[in-house]
Structure 1
């Protein structure tokens, strides 16, 4: 499965340590631009410049899951685009799950997560929850099939209704949307996917 993927069968979870550009969890990415492996605050991670760096995978790890939790450790940097997309599962414009960030004029950021499934959509736009750039955060998005919840550092920020059906295909991108717009400036260190909707006390990466 690849040296950078650990499968935890008890929790039906997959864990990726993002420390290589050659293979992540046995999946070989197509690289755009010049993403780099860097050591940031004693954490090894993949760093994106915000100027055309991205990783693209033919696989969609959320394929077939009726419910799920996605967790990641990420570090947004100052000076990026006002709107950025840094993790995209599914299709470019149809069924998809997106992690997004918004930068404010004051230099803070807030989380925005989005799910589209059939005719149902859910946007959680966390503009009431501002955070500083240039430090590490734990993010999570959970979906039990009817509700979409997002978290920053284990604290719930928003939730909303969604009629989610398992995706039948799709791909994945890191550092940008699948259609190569809204490039991310920052770094990602870890990613996990669990095939159930987890509570904060069950999160794997905190």
Structure 2
């Protein structure tokens, strides 16, 4: 887990980067722009950032998986219902290395169905475009969950609370430097209603038993 509230440096271990959302500035030690009025709230592990689903987001000047030929992208969050489509964690190459290609990005999204939700993981880049969404695998809103997406360069997988949701073949290529939009898609649509405590980024594909879980 990251250090005490107020420390701005990201925690790293064997190339890993941990962002703790217990502040509204300097997330992961990177310049952070606040839009709307996200606020700090309590979580079981300390403070987290809560988003209202209307206009709240954080724009972070870093793509923590840039250059990685394989990766694990994890987050601990609490979806609280709201609009059906919510694109709540968007890592984007910026500016694009190939301006003629579709926007290169990695995303966590959810689809909300009343008081339940399913995970939508998405990877897009030169030569690959893959969505992992399984509406038959639903989870209750208002609870904290760990989500992850992994890629070993050839297979893309998604997980909720350590359980595999699905997988697909992918010809993944590393993404370039860029930014992260947390709480909405980069172009300010599909806002997230809920809270985020942590995210961890690893430049290799991890098995579920190596996923990060925040400590109390």
The normalised TM-score by structure 2 is: 0.88
Does residue 196 of structure 2 align to residue 188 of structure 1?
A: yes
User: What is the CA distance between 1:41 and its match in structure 2?
Assistant: 4.8
Deviations 1:46-90 (CA, angstroms, capped at 9, x unpaired): 000001000112221111111000111000002x11100110011
Mark the CA change 1:147 to 1:33 in structure 2 (over 3 Å): closer, same or farther. Answer: same
**Among 37, 41, 62, the residue aligned to 2:40:** 37
User: What is the CA distance between 1:204 and its match in structure 2?
Assistant: 1.9
**Among 83, 108, 116, the residue aligned to 1:81:** 83
2:176 aligned partner: 168
Does residue 66 of structure 2 align to residue 58 of structure 1?
A: no
CA contact (8 A) 1:63 1:166 kept: yes
CA contact (8 A) 2:93 2:105 kept: yes
Distance 2:212 2:9 in 1: 16
CA contact (8 A) 1:113 1:125 kept: yes
Runs of 4+ residues over 4 Å off in structure 1: none
Matched residue pairs, number?
Answer: 201
Deviations 1:6-44 (CA, angstroms, capped at 9, x unpaired): 1113xx211121100011111121111001111145642
Distance 1:117 1:33 in 2: 30
Distance 1:21 1:73 in 2: 17
2:131 aligned partner: 123
Distance 1:16 1:52 in 2: 22
User: What is the CA distance between 1:158 and its match in structure 2?
Assistant: 0.8
SS in structure 2 of the partner of residue 25 of structure 1:
helix
User: What is the CA distance between 1:4 and its match in structure 2?
Assistant: 4.8
CA contact (8 A) 2:25 2:33 kept: no
- Structure 1 unaligned regions, length at least 5: none
Does residue 180 of structure 2 align to residue 178 of structure 1?
A: no
2:107 aligned partner: 98
Deviations 1:109-143 (CA, angstroms, capped at 9, x unpaired): 00001001213111011201000000100001101
CA contact (8 A) 2:89 2:182 kept: yes
2:11 aligned partner: 6
Distance 2:107 2:45 in 1: 28
1:112 aligned partner: 120
**Among 54, 74, 82, the residue aligned to 1:71:** 74
